Structure 1
Amino acid sequence: MSPVPSPGRGEKVRTAVLAATLDELGAHGYAALTVDNVARRAGVHKTTVYRRWPDRDGLIADALSDSVDSEISIPDTGSIETDLRALARTLVVWIDSPSGRAILAAALSDAVGLPRPPDSIRHVFRDRIRRALPIVDKAMDRGELPRGTDPARMLKTLAAPIYMRALITHEPLDEAAADAAARLALTAARAGLFGGDPEPGVASGA
């Protein structure tokens, strides 16, 4: 008679494997990651991994997506100012976490001459922007932003200075940096720089 699987066993294995994948990415990078090493770190047989993830890149993409979904929440405070500030602060905390550093290393590996990750991995970042679009849409509905504001452009403007600090200038990433990025995106949106008509007095500085 076959043993009955323990309740929640499958989810525990999935969690362990995804965590091990991020750990391997952080320790060895995208190019050197192997399913064997992930399985060893997770404490499972490699066939267990292949049963759920037939290929390595699918496993990596799933691990990255799971990390971003769980660690970068989408705020809904009722105010675009506090929503943007909360989103920027969460992004800063995530970038400085082990999983954040692993994901950035994987996404940018081709920039340093390593094999380029598949587009499914880069899709993780695009998907996070897509999920945050309602922040801007709700703000337009409340009259906090000009109608016609492009949500994706606004959110990319919020993220850009944070990624600049993390990847290029290596300046401190803290709440002050997050708040400055949020103010920049909000000021630009209210000035109509993302496709909407500027609010009265914003563009002129009145």
Structure 2
Amino acid sequence: MKQILFLSFLLLIVLSGCGMQEREKLVKNKEKELARKEQELITREEALRLKEESLAKKQQKLDSTQLDSAFYNPSITGSWNVRMVCVETNCTGSAIGDTKNEIWDISYQNDRVIAKAMTDNTVVRTYEGTYNNNLLELRDNIEVSPNTPATEIVVRLTLLNNTLEGQRQIIRSGDCRIVYSMQLDKGNNVILLN
């Protein structure tokens, strides 16, 4: 009887050992499969990174082509009296009908148009952009800081006779948008009060 118990116990140990070996094989196979999939993922990520770099280079070439073909118009350079009237807003602290008056000094630097916005002879903002097909497009991106939300300002103006007319759109994070109609007149630069 003791021998039967001993043999049964020995058989049980041997059989359980076989199960362990099978489990170890399964674990090793799964580890190999996981390593293979991880390598595939790394390869795909590298291919995606290269494709993104290629697209960025193509975009940069397109942008530089647009800049190279930018039109230089001396009639937009100089000082301009700027009048802005708020025509659309969903931001707190801003209301339709609000007005702003500034003096803008517009010049060219290389292929870029630079507009320095001044109030009381102090530069309050500098826009940068292009002039193409009678359209002046300027941008100013305000960096995020603890006191100011991310803000993008886009100005689109069309030259008509001796004036520039168009819109200034301010877009802030948090679904805040303000649109001003704009009229810029070249002239004697009388400082306008807000």
TM-score bracket, normalised by the shorter chain, equals: under 0.3
Task: Report the TM-score when normalising by structure 2.
Answer: 0.25
> Which is helix-richer, 1 or 2?
1
TM-score normalised according to structure 1 size: 0.24
More strand by share: 2
